[in-house]
Amino acid sequence: MHVLREEFDVVAMDFTTAGEASATIKRLLKKLGVNSSVVRRLSIACYEAEINLVIHSMGGKLILTVGAQDVTLTSEDVGPGIPDIDLAMSEGYSTASEDVRMMGFGAGMGLANMARNADGFSIESKVGVGTRIEMVFRLTDAQKTEGAV
Partner 1 sequence: MKLKEIQAILNARGLTGEENPELEVQSACSSDMMSDVLAFPKEHMVLLTGLVNPQVMRTADMLDIRMVVFVRGKQPAEEALELARECGISVLSTDHTLYNASGILFMNGLNNNVKG
The least distance separating partner 1 from the CB of residue 82, rounded to whole angstroms, comes to 17
| H or E, element range at 65 | strand 60-67
Query: In the bound complex, what is the minimum distance in angstroms from residue 115's beta carbon to partner 1?
Result: 12
Residue selected from 11, 12, 19, 80 as contacting partner 1 according to rule CB under 8 A: 19
Sequence-distant (6+) residues with CB within 8 A of 93 are 87, 108
CB 128 within 8 A of CB 80: yes
Give Dmax (Cα) for the chain. 53
Using CA of residue 128, residue 88, residue 108, residue 113, what is the dihedral sign?
positive
> What does the per-residue mask of binding to partner 1 show for 101-130, with x meaning CB under 8 A?
x-xxxxxxxx-xx-----------------
How many residues touch partner 1 (CB under 8 A)?
25
Among 11, 13, 15, 134, binds partner 1 (CB under 8 A): 15
Q: Is 30 in the site for partner 1 (CB under 8 A)?
A: no
Residue 22 found at the interface with partner 1 (CB under 8 A): yes
Q: Rule CB under 8 A: which of 78-97 touch partner 1?
A: 91
- Spatial neighbors of 77 by CB under 8 A, at least 6 apart, are 10, 53, 56, 57, 58, 59, 60, 61, 130, 131, 132
Applying CB under 8 A, the residues found at the interface with partner 1 are: 15-16, 18-19, 22-23, 26, 40, 43-44, 46-48, 91, 101, 103-110, 112-113
